Structure formats: structure tokens, C-alpha cells
Amino acid sequence: MQGEMNFIIEGGKKLSGTVTVSRSKNGAVALLAASLLNQGTTTLERVPKIEEVHRLIEVLRSLGISVTWEGSNVLITPPEKISLESIDRTAAMKTRSILMFIGPLIHLFKKFELPQSGGCTLGLRTVRPHLMALEKFGVTITATSDTYLIEHTALAPTEVVLYESGDTATINALLAAARIPGTSVIKYASANYQVQEVCGFLRELGVGIEGLGTTTITVHGTPDIHKDVRYTVAEDPTDAMFFIAAAVVTHSAITITAAPIEFLEVEMLILEKMGLQFSITNHRISENGITKLVDIHIEPSELIAVPEKIHPRPYPGLNIDNLPFFAVIATQAKGTTLIHDWVYEKRAIYYTELDRLGATTQLHDPHRISIEGPTHLKAAEVVCPPALRPATIILVAMLGAKGRSTLRNVYSINRGYEDILNRLQQLGASIEAPH
């Protein structure tokens, strides 16, 4: 594959030291979409330099929007008039986050098209919840094989009952409600970290938001938003979970600083029940004034499988994006762990890739898999699964597998994790990406 990037890992080494949690992929892409609401200059601080962010910036620039990097800050200034004629279809089709452009763009256009989104290959991942939510505001969306056609005659405030508590569907409804004068209510909303990020940003723009962090969000819309604002992207719980899993699988003592604990509490409870030794210190708040942070100190531990199935739920449950890490953690736990990945049509199938590294798995159906442990993982050569989290757990397994492993075509990891190679090297991992 042209331009393919591979990781070579000499596994089985202990990690040590401290790693700081990077800023949120899902928060950053949602805030880039939300910046379309603002006619002033939006400065997003601490934006992760990851492929998903680069793709969305390419799309914004193709609309005539000025987007410049200043260190890790991104300055976004819209033109007098945005044009969708020259939209970068290639970049748009590589990211599912393009769906979140619908909410803000309905305020600029009565009729427009967006390319069908791509991103992770995880089955259908229906867009129907987005359609159902936005229809309530007076929007109709028609999906063709490669395009979404969006149109409306007039937008009106409304009460939306979400078909499912999806993060991006909630964000789309928020971005739609933000510039519609009057009061809209979003029920069964996701209260996940990226939704809280968007609520915090909307407040900075002058939009009235009640119910942040709950499943009922009330939005007092403001039709004209022309404000120079600065907002800092918060820390990423799935980045913290990556390093927690890496510590567990390599039987290492490391400290993970600035972990957004409210989005890791159920995960840490399960790990505690499995026998993980850890301590939590230094409670504080991130720059956005919303996200609660802690430092997590992990100790090498003997794990046992939990008798209950491990399954995700909308916040405040176990985070859907953190679930895959339990598949690789389960390889080190004595007994049988049942993982139920009910959200995605076929993500559990990717967990069987751990077998290549010596894991013992039994796939019951596309959603459920049992993993036997503990396993002495062994080195192997594996092509990255085309989905972000399943790709990342193969990397974690390779860190714990004695010998030299090769992980081929790591684009899907670079979509969501910033500078992962360097950060692992600083913890003492033997990992390189030969050119």
C-alpha cells in the first residue's frame, strides 16, 4: 500500500514513568463542526494533530474558511459567504464526523448536499437517529448511495426525543437548535464528554444551555452569533484507557496524569473488581471549567475475570469506545471474560484478531465474544483492522507480547491518537515506525 506506515514493536518489556492524557479526538472534531455556527473568529486551543482533525480542516478550508495552526491552537475565521460548491469530497468521505456539519449548515443553506461519510468500518452505523432528530426542526434528509441531500423551508424550535442516545446525533440536534430563536428541548440526549464539550462551547458563543451533563438539554437559541471566542479542548478518556490497558497488559507501574475521571469511573470499578491495584490523586478541573481530572497510578497486578458480562452503555455507563480495551485486558485475567459489544454490527469480530498474538477467544455471534486468560501473548505480524479501537488493542497486545511484532498500515490508529509512538517510547516501549 502506497504511503503505508507500519509499527515495529519489540514486546514484553515493562513500561515505567508518567504520561499525560492527550486532548480529545471526538471533542476536537465536534468543536470544529460547531465553529461553523460562529461568524466571528473561533480559536480552539490544544487541538490534537490527528488524521481525523486534518480531514475536517481540509473540508473547512475547501468551503472558503480560513483555518490556521498556531502551535497546537487552531484559528477559524469564516468568509463573508461559505460556498459548498468546492467541498473536498475526498476528505469528507474519509470521516464520519462530516455528519455533524448538517446541524450548523442548515442555518446557512435551505438546500445543500454533503458527501456520504466514511471513517471506521463498523457495519451500518445507521444515520437514521440524525434524520429523526433533525426532522423535528423542519429538516428533511435524503440519503443516496454517495450523498446526503438536506433541505428545509423554515426552521422552528421544538422538542426532540432522540431515538438513541448517540453522541453525534445529540451534537447535531444541539447545533441545529443553537441558532433557532426560541427554546428547544433535547430528550434522551447523550451526556458523553464530547457533548459536554459542545455545550460548554455553545455557552461561550452566547447560546443558553441548561442540563449540561444530563439526558435532557434545553437550548435557548440565538439567531446571530458573531463573537471572537477561545475554547480549550478537554482531555480524552479513550487516550487514558489506552495507557491503562498498556500498563495492565505489560504488567507495569505507570502514572497517567490529567485523566477525565467522570468518563472512566465504571471502567476503573470493573478493573478494581478484576484485582487491579491503582490509586487516584490530584483532583482538579480542565481549562473548560467542566471536565474533572485526576492522576491515576497503576501497579502491576494479578487479574481475575469478572463473572458479569462487560458491556457498554451511554454515559454514565462504560464508554463504548473504551470497551475494546477490555478484550486485550481479558487476555491477562484468570478465567473467562464475556464481552458484549451490542452497539456495532461487527466490531466484536475484530477482537478475534487477538488470536494471532496467542489469545484464546470464542466468537459467539457478531456482538459477543469470550476470552480465556491468562495468556502469554506472542509476537506476530498483523495488518491493522480498519477501525480505530480494534486497531489500538492489537498495538496494546503487541506491547505485551514477547518478541518482535509488526503492525501494518496504522492509519486507523493515527486517526485518533496523537504522537502515540513518541509517548510510548518515553514510557520505555521499544517501538518504531521505519520509513
Q: Flag whether pLDDT at 3 surpasses 80.
A: no
Residue 206, Cα to own-chain centre: how many angstroms? 26
From 6-15, 116-125, 219-228, 344-353, the region with the lowest mean pLDDT: 116-125
- Mean predicted confidence (pLDDT) in 60-85: 95
In contact, 373 and 334? CB cutoff 8 Å: yes
Q: Which pLDDT band, with edges at 50, 70 and 90, does 415 fall under?
A: confident
* Average pLDDT over every residue of 141-166: 89
| Residue pair 405/357 in contact by the 8 Å Cβ criterion | yes
The mean per-residue pLDDT over the stretch 128-147 comes to: 86
- According to DSSP, the residues that pair with 299 across neighbouring strands are 277
pLDDT at 226 (0 to 100)? 96
Give the model confidence (pLDDT) of 56-68 as tens digits: 999 999 999 999 9
- Residue-level pLDDT at 273: 98
As a whole number, mean pLDDT of residues 267-294 equals 98
Confidence band (pLDDT; 50, 70, 90) for 123? Answer: very low
- Please tell me whether the overall predicted TM-score, pTM, comes out greater than 0.95 for this model: no
Average pLDDT of the residues in 312-341: 95
Lowest-pLDDT range of 113-117, 301-305, 339-343, 389-393 = 113-117
Q: What percent of the chain has pLDDT over 90?
A: 81
pLDDT of 414 reads: 79
Which segment of 285-289, 297-301, 314-318 scores lowest on mean pLDDT? 314-318
Does residue 345 have a pLDDT over 70? yes
Residue 184 has pLDDT above 70, yes or no: yes
Domains observed in the chain: 7-22+235-432 (3.65.10.10), 25-232 (3.65.10.10)
Give the mean model confidence (pLDDT) for residues 259-278: 98
Task: Encode the chain in three state secondary structure.
Answer: CCCCCCEEEEECCCCEEEEECCECHHHHHHHHHHHHHCCCCEEEECCCCCHHHHHHHHHHHHCCCEEEEECCEEEEECCCCCCCCCCCHHHHHCCHHHHHHHHHHCCCCCEEEEECCCCCCCCCCCCHHHHHHHHCCCEEEEECCCEEEEEECCCCCCEEECCCCCHHHHHHHHHHHHCCCEEEEEECCCCCHHHHHHHHHHHHCCCEEECCCCCEEEEEECCCCCCCEEEECCECHHHHHHHHHHHHHCCCEEEEEEEEHHHCHHHHHHHHHCCCEEEEEEEEECCCCCCEEEEEEEECCCEECCCCCECCCCCCCCCCCCHHHHHHHHCCEEEEEEEECCCCCCHHHHHHHHHHHCCEEEEEECCEEEEEECCCCECCEEECCCCHHHHHHHHHHHHHCEEEEEEECCHHHHCCCCCHHHHHHHCCCEEECCC
Mean pLDDT to the nearest integer, 140-166: 89
**pLDDT tens-digit series, residues 222-244:** 999 999 999 999 999 999 999 99
Mean pLDDT of the 343-372 span: 93
pLDDT over 60 at 21, yes or no: yes
pLDDT value, residue 124: 41
pLDDT-derived band at 118, boundaries 50, 70, 90: low
Rounded mean pLDDT of 259-279? 98
Report the C-alpha gap between 312 and 324 in whole angstroms.
10
* Cβ-proximal residues to 298 (8 Å cutoff; 6+ apart), any chain: 244, 247, 248, 252, 253, 254, 255, 256, 276, 277, 278
* Of residues 263, 259, 226, 230, the one with CA closest to residue 244: 259
pLDDT at 146 over 90: no
Region 178-183: what's the mean pLDDT? 97
Sheet holding 253-260, edge to edge: 16-20, 253-260, 292-299, 277-285
Mean of the pLDDT values across residues 248-254? 98
Does the pLDDT at position 1 exceed 50? no
| pLDDT the model gives residue 173 | 96
- As a whole number, the mean pLDDT across the chain is 93
pLDDT tops 50 at residue 175: yes
Q: Which of 207, 173, 209, 205 is nearest to 189 (CA)?
A: 173
pLDDT grade for 126, boundaries at 50, 70 and 90: low
